[in-house]
Structure 1
Amino acid sequence: MATGLIVHLEIVPDQREAFVEIARAHGARSLRLESGRCLSFEVFVPVTSATQVILVEKYVDDDALQAHWDSPHMAEYSARVEAMITSRTRYRCLV
């Protein structure tokens, strides 16, 4: 069974555009570097909020998600965006 990850983020208001650009690049990089393990990576920008972003990711299994979290490109992404995030809620799901 595949593993899904939904992440609801609150972003510093004047940083959302920059965050979305970085997150989309990270998603594309994850799909390329984790081919066959990272199955999808979507960045949603709610039109009813100036501060929210939702990430929806799908991995082949829990090991693939853990490998993503442990990857050098995840560490780089985290370092770039951490100051932009004011809160984060993660939902790990069966798909």
Structure 2
Amino acid sequence: MPPPTGKPIVRIAELEIDPEQIESYKALLSREIEASIRLEEGVLALYALAVKESPEKIRIFEVYADQGAYQAHLRTPHFLEYKASTSAMVRSLRLVETEPIVLADKLDDQRRLR
């Protein structure tokens, strides 16, 4: 993959899943996230969470190196398989576009200390 050419893309996906299918959904989501992190250099972070006491409400925090990395992610076989496999499970999906202010993690701190 070419080096990032723009600013990072950060978005939050807000999903509501059919409660009868939540365990199947979580397994498919876990497989998709693992593949994305392992195979895609431009996928910097994917964090999936359930709203406390509402396990059918899933939030995914997504960080991509740039718009090109995000667009490439949407075309990968593992993402397309995830979308096809979960389409009947997802009751609603809302994508929240964000404007990053500060992006940091412990790994950034550890790299700076070396």
Whose RCO is larger (CA < 8 A, sep 6+)? 1
Aligned to 1:67: 72
Larger helix percent: 1
- Residue 17 of structure 1 is aligned with which of 23, 48, 54? 23
Structure 1: gaps spanning 5 or more residues = none
Please, what TM-score do these two structures have when normalized by structure 1? 0.91
Shift of 1:60: 0.3
Q: Does 1:5 align with 2:11?
A: yes
Aligned to 1:54: 59
Query: Which runs of structure 1 show a deviation greater than 4 angstroms over 4 or more consecutive aligned residues?
Result: none
Same amino acid, percent of matched pairs: 30
Shift of 1:92: 2.4
Q: Is the radius of gyration larger for structure 1 or structure 2?
A: 2
Aligned residues: 94
CA RMSD of aligned residues (A): 1.1
Structure 2: gaps spanning 5 or more residues = 1-6, 101-114
SS in 1 for 2:86: helix
